[in-house]
């Protein structure tokens, strides 16, 4: 795969990683790197990034609606009360990634999320405070320049882990920061680099 931005037939130059997949391109254009400040949406994306470990992101993206149905629309209040019976049912759900440790980690993370929400400062503020409340805009020209983790993602990873979150290693956290716009890692030649910070949140993408 090319490591530099690519000109598409629609006349727009994009990061190379979505390839020619229309669904992946839509995610790249409308969601990836757009600042997300909603507490619940941030929890959902953190969990999905944890499930992605060892897999490609497009695999998770195509299963996202299945995940949402299986996990009660990622409402932490419901997930925190999951029983062993519910975990067993999820392990039999072919629509999601059936990994017991990650499923149980989702429950543990929901309980940790609720604690941050109840005792302060709120999940969104907790996360965004690590970047002073605004996206860090990088100026990468090739994907080879983009790091797998950073000192900030290491710091967030340690803090989340200390609070009981699971599957929040520095690499997972950095992918999460990219997805939620805490960092703008669109290549400088990608048309989204200049625009994603000002984009409104978009309706949910559904897999085709």
Which residues are annotated binding-site positions for Zn(2+)?
Answer: 15, 28, 186, 190
Query: At a CB cut-off of 8 Å and minimum separation 6, what does 75 contact?
Result: 40
Query: At a CB cut-off of 8 Å and minimum separation 6, what does 118 contact?
Result: none
User: Kind of pairing, strands 183-184 and 136-137?
Assistant: parallel
Could you tell me where the DSSP H helices lie in 8-119?
22-30, 39-52, 57-70, 76-79, 84-91, 100-119
3: left (phi over 0), alpha (psi -120 to 50) or beta: alpha
CB atoms within 10 A of CB 43: 26
3-state DSSP call for residue 32? coil
Q: Which residues are annotated as a binding site?
A: 15, 28, 186, 190
3-state DSSP call for residue 141? coil
């Amino acid at each position: 795969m090319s490591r530099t931005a690519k000109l598409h037939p629609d006349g727009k130059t994009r990061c190379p990683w979505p390839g020619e997949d229309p669904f992946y391109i839509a995610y790249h254009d409308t969601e990836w790197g757009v600042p997300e400040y909603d507490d619940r949406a941030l929890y959902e994306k953190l969990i999905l990034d944890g499930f992605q470990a060892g897999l490609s992101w497009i695999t998770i993206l195509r299963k996202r609606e299945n995940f949402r149905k299986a996990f009660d629309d990622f409402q932490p209040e419901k997930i925190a009360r999951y029983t062993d019976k519910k975990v067993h049912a999820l392990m039999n759900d072919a629509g999601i990634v059936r990994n017991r440790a990650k499923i149980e980690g989702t429950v543990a993370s929901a309980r940790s999320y609720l604690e941050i929400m109840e005792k302060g400062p709120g999940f969104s503020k907790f996360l965004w405070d690590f970047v002073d409340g605004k996206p860090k805009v990088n100026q990468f020209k090739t994907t080879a320049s983009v790091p797998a983790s950073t000192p900030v993602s290491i710091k967030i990873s340690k803090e989340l882990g200390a609070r009981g979150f699971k599957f929040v290693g520095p690499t997972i956290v950095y992918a999460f920061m990219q997805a939620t716009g805490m960092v703008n890692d669109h290549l400088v030649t990608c048309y989204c680099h200049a625009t994603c910070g000002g984009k409104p949140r978009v309706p949910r993408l559904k897999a085709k």
